[in-house]
Each structure stands twice: as structure tokens, then as C-alpha cells.
Amino acid sequence: MRRRAALAALLATTAFLAAGCAGSTAPAASTAASDELTGSLTISAAASLGTAFDEIAAAFEAQHPGVDVRPISYDGSSTLANQIIEGAPVDVFASADEKNMAKVVDAGLAADPTLFASNTLVIVVPAGNPAGISSLADLAAPGATVVLCAPEVPCGAASQTLLANAGVTVTPASAEQNVTAVLTKVAEGEADAGLVYATDALGNADVESIVPDGAADVVNRYPIVALTDAPDADAAAAFVAFVAGDEGRAILARLGFGPA
Amino acid sequence: MSRRTPAFVPRALVAPAALGLAFLVVPLVALVARVQWSTLWQDVTSPAALSALGLSLGTGLVATVLCLLVGVPLALLIARSGARAAAILRAAVTVPLVLPPMVGGIALLFLFGRNGWLGGALDLVGVRLPFTTAAVVLAQAFVALPFLVLALEGALRATGTGYEQAAAALGAGRWTVLRRVTLPLAAPGLVTGTVLCFARAIGEFGATALFAGNAPGVTQTMPLAIYTAFNGAGVSQGTAVALALLLLVTAVLVLVLVRAWRPEAVR
């Protein structure tokens, strides 16, 4: 009796955990079934790719109805790279810089990443620019609350280079773990200014962006790779090809990303 | 608000006391004030919110069951050990309670991770725990178990062993004593501990973030969804506030439940 109860609890536990690992929905029916790709894809992508990859994933699923793209994990590239190195079950990794991609490649988990897009930095200020920011030098002004990405994430590394090139020293009020966190703090009006990618500021009504001098000299390139032990290797490779191919590039260009 | 301030409290302390109380209550009022009531239902039932909510409730329940399976025996063991052994055991159980959960997450990763003590062995049999739903449950159980053990252990120690000895003298076996005497007497402590354990599990953030990650639908529980929303990725801010309200309501309900079960709360 008691033993049976304990066994039932254990079984329930196991069943729940198994359910958590099971695949989800059937993909929408589509007529463009030109191939027999199947499986499900777990994708980790840099936070700045959020809008673009949601759109690309939907287009990819429409073209390959047998593939289910799971909700994509968006975060700072360094966070995602560390998770993958620690054993996170990921099929495709898209980083906002080559350095964090190199960490995953050097760990022997992937090979030959493909560069597929580029991005530059802008100064972003809340709508109306209450602090009257117009240049990188203004970010160093006493009394200006500035948020930047943490140095270990790609936008942070790029921000440091950009500021160093301009000879400006900024003490940020906060060093955020990913670029969307910086954008949110500025959009909320909690910070007077921040440095984000040009693509992040596009289409956000709560912020204005200023292209600083020297922005074109600090370019982030985005690599993408299918991980070596991705369970659905064919689907993973197809997704990488799709992102770097015509459809993916068209979506990225429309959202403001530069060519690789 | 009652005007029967005990005479031994100096009047001058009322102001800082009120300040302290306001500091605890007003931020939560501010949170409730920011809720968009018109879209609350939509926000709570958005796919991202529902997935986080379902995951939190499911993992929280499983973690609580796991905690009961190992926590009740552990509490019994501590309560019925000698003073010195009990003190050592209690300290061991309390460490995760006062440890920053982030540290617990790193510790779990170094035990079960790819390069961890057990992770390598588990990998050989094809089991990978980190960054899976199972990892969420483990992280929750790690931080929540001490609440259950300490609450139950306190109740067991308070009831003493008199009734148990009487039952044993009358011929009851160990299991019978446990089932018919020990646990019924400690029931309030068991319920309080279980409810606290569940509340702590669904509120767990730090250990989950490091050990289980933040994958929507797989490991993105409510606290992680709220954090992510304020980072502007994935979940909308309205959803984050709605989820925060949900966690706040849960916390209040937990308090009400725990109070209702306190023997001294019986009116």
C-alpha cells in the first residue's frame, strides 16, 4: 500500500519528466513539401537576432513542414555559448560575434561556422532625448545615466572598442547581459542613453538613435553553425543554409542587418 | 493600526517601524498598480505566459513530491537523533537555505554537468540533465528541500516521543507508530513545510538559470520568463507584470494556507 503510493509518485514524476522532453505540436500543413526533412530544431541565438530569427524560423517551417522549430532561446551570446559548452542540447547556434562562436568551436562541439550578417552600433536615447545626448563624448558627461552591454557579450565588446576609438571613458550605471536589456532600460526611460545595435533601435517608437562617429569602423559579424552532435543533423544543416541563403538574407536585410 | 501599543515599546520607535513596514508593502502596491487590468487575462493566457506557468506548476509539483519522498524520512531522522548529531545534520540541511541559489546552480552543474562528477557517468548511459526540464526540478528541489525538512523536523521535535513510546509499549510496530501517531501529530508542520516547499520551488530563479538555462517551453519557468521579459526578449512586459502578479497572489495564498494550519491560529 505505502510502497504502491511511493511507486505511483515516482511513476508520475517520470511521466511528467518524459512529457517535458517530448516534442510538441505538429507543423502547419503546407503545399511546399519539396523534401522529406523531419525532426525538431533547438536553436540558441544572440538576443539581437530575436525579431529576424522568429521570422526566419516561421519561413523555414513553411518550407519544411516536417521540421518543428522549437521556441528559440535568445540571450547574450556568451551566456548561450557557455550553456552549450556545459552540455545544453542545442542543434544550431547563432552568435553576434566570432569570439563567442570560437569558444564553441574550440570546445570541439562544432566546425566551420558560416558568417551570415553584420551589425553596427548606435547611441540610443529615450524618445525626446531628455538628456540632450548627441555624441559619444556626451555619454561621459557627469549626471548622464548610461547603460551598456557587459564586456563579455558581443555588443559590450564592440561598445568598448567604439568608445576606446573615440577616446571616451564611460562608467555605465549597469552592465547588462544582452543587448535587449540595454534597449529596454533606455526605452523605459530608466537610462539616458545606451549603446545598442542599429537593428535593435529600428522600429522601436520609444527610442531615438544617433549614429556616432566611427560606428562604421566597429562591425560585428554574425556566425551560425549546426552543432556536431545535433540529433537532426540534416534539418540543422538545412536551417543554417536557409539563414545564409536568399530567403534568410532578404529578411535580415529588411530588418536592417548588413551583409556578412 | 491597533492603539494598544505595549507599554515597553518606546514611542520613538513607531516611526522607523512604520517606515520598515511601508518599505515592504509599498513596492508590492506599486507592482499591482502597474497591472494592465484590461489586458490581464490576455497577458496571463498568452502562449509564452501559459507555457511558463504550466512549466512552473508542473516542475514545482514534481519537485515537491521529490522533496516529500526524501524530506520526510530526513526530518524524522534528524528529529530522532541525539542532540549533537541533530545539530550537525540540521546545519547540513540549512546550508542550501542560506546559500545564494546561484551558487547552488553552479554546484549542481559541477555535479551533473558534462564535466561533472556524475555527469560523465550519466552521459555514458545517455542521460543528460543540465538544461533540461529535469534540471529545473532538481534545482527547485535543491533550494526547496530545506524548508520542508526544517519545518517538519521542528514539529516532530515539539511533539516529543511520549505518544510514540506509549504506542510501542502497547505493541504497535514501527510503521504503525509512524502512520498512526508520529505523522498525524506532526501534520500541521508537514502541511506548512509542504506549502513553503512548493512556494519556494515555483519562485526559484538563480539555480534554475545556471543549471537549467532559459529555453522557452523547456526550462523557462515563471521567474525566468519575468526576468527575460524585462530584458525585452521573447515575453512582453505586460505578460511579465501579469506573471509577477500571479506569483504575488500565490505567495499570499501560501501565507493564508500556512496560517490556517497553525494550531495556534485556531479561533
B193 pLDDT more than 90: yes
Q: How far is CA B5 from the centre of its chain?
A: 34
User: Cα dihedral angle (B154, B159, B161, B166), rounded to 10 degrees?
Assistant: -160
- The CA distance from A207 to A200, in Å, is 10
Which of A9, A16, A180 lies nearest to residue B231, judging by beta carbons?
Answer: A180
B27 pLDDT more than 90: yes
DSSP structure string for B193-249: HHHHHHHHHHH--HHHHHHT---TTTT--HHHHHHHHHTTSSS-HHHHHHHHHHHHH
SS3 state of residue A225: strand
- The CA distance from B108 to A235, in Å, is 32
Give the per-residue pLDDT at A22.
38
Each residue of B50-93: pLDDT tens digit?
Answer: 888 899 999 999 999 999 999 999 999 999 899 999 999 999 99
- The CA distance from A253 to A259, in Å, is 7
Query: What single DSSP character describes residue A70?
Result: P
Which residues of chain A register pLDDT less than 70? 1-35
Query: How many C-beta atoms surround the C-beta of residue B9 within 10 A?
Result: 10
Residues in chain A: 260
Residue of B nearest to A54 (CA): B234
Q: Name every residue whose Cβ is closer than 8 Å to that of residue A160 and which is 6 or more positions away in sequence.
A: A151
Contact B218 A87 (CB under 8 A): no
Each residue of B159-187: pLDDT tens digit?
Answer: 888 899 999 999 989 999 999 999 999 99
Which of A71, A86, A183 lies nearest to residue B114, judging by beta carbons?
Answer: A86
Query: pLDDT class for B10, splitting at 50, 70, 90?
Result: confident
CB < 8 Å to B134, chain A:
17, 20-21
Contact between B93 and B141 under an 8 Å Cβ cutoff? The reply is: no
Give the per-residue pLDDT at B71.
97
Contact A86 B218 (CB under 8 A): no
- Segment B146-163 shows an average pLDDT of 92
Residue of B nearest to A86 (CA): B114
Give the per-residue pLDDT at B266.
41
Closest Cα in chain A, distance from residue B161 (Å): 23
Interface test with B, best of A73, A82, A177, A228 (most B CBs within 10 A): A73
Reference A236, options A12, A49, A47, A57; nearest CA is A57
∠ CA A25-A27-A28, rounded to 5°: 125
Query: How many C-beta atoms surround the C-beta of residue B194 within 10 A?
Result: 24
Interface test with A, best of B34, B131, B132, B180 (most A CBs within 10 A): B131
Each residue of B200-254: pLDDT tens digit?
Answer: 999 999 999 989 988 888 999 999 988 887 765 555 677 888 889 988 888 888 8
